[in-house]
Amino acid sequence: QDGRTSGKSERRETPERGTVFAMLCARRRLSTWALEGIGKPNFDASKVFLAPSASVVGDVTIGNGSSVWYNCVLRGDVNEIRIGEETNIQDGTVIHVAKHNAQGTSLPTVIGNQVTVGHMALLHACTLEDLSFVGMGAVVMDGCVMSRGSMLAAGSLLTPGKTIPSGEIWGGRPARYMRDLTEKEKDFLPVSAKKYAELASVHMNNLVKTA
């Protein structure tokens, strides 16, 4: 021996893609929890990226092509959470529900297709229609509706019962109408969803635990 080691002996073996995916599926199961008498998470693990550190609890349905990123919490206990296809719930977001409002109306959280929810958002008992966009750190409260193709600016607070009409951007605390979205901004909404779906595929197929 001359003190050198071969590259082969030092190289860390990389699991085959199928092995990595199997590892991820096992890890993601640890992040999902059923609640007896209430329900369990419902999604296709081969078509949804659920980050290892995310927690999905109770009556939660996630559509194909969607992604729930690191350190998110989705808690469907007193009501249901429904998420459509190609929607991204970015890192640190919290989603919860309410049983009903003072008038007795049920208040689940319903999120449509190709919705983008920015990092550290808080969604509570609200509805986000297709192609809506929630900025980073924004809060959407009970009974709110974000109409198709609407946007809430980063850091904003949408107070209970408010509706953002289609094609508008609201911002502030409390959030108010700012302006109409430009055509370029409208065109960006499905692009944002597609890009995140592609990025989720990268994480799903290439994430390897190192320690």
Angle between helices 17-29 and 183-206 (to 10 degrees): 100
Burial of 191 from C-beta contacts in 10 A (0-12 / 13-18 / 19+): exposed
Higher-scoring residue by pLDDT: 21, 210: 210
How many CB atoms neighbour CB 2 within 10 A?
4
3-state secondary structure of 184: helix
14-18: average pLDDT: 49
Higher-scoring residue by pLDDT: 189, 3: 189
- Per-residue pLDDT for 5 more than 80? no
Burial of 105 from C-beta contacts in 10 A (0-12 / 13-18 / 19+): exposed
Residue 117, φ and ψ in degrees, nearest 5: -120, 115
For 138-159, how does the pLDDT look when each residue is reduced to its tens digit (9 = 90+)? 999 999 999 999 999 999 999 9
Q: pLDDT value at position 21? A: 45
23-49: average pLDDT: 82
Q: pLDDT value at position 24? A: 53
Q: pLDDT value at position 210? A: 85
pTM: 0.86
Residue owning tokens 């995140």: 196
Residue 130: which of 68, 85, 72, 165 has the closest Cα? 85
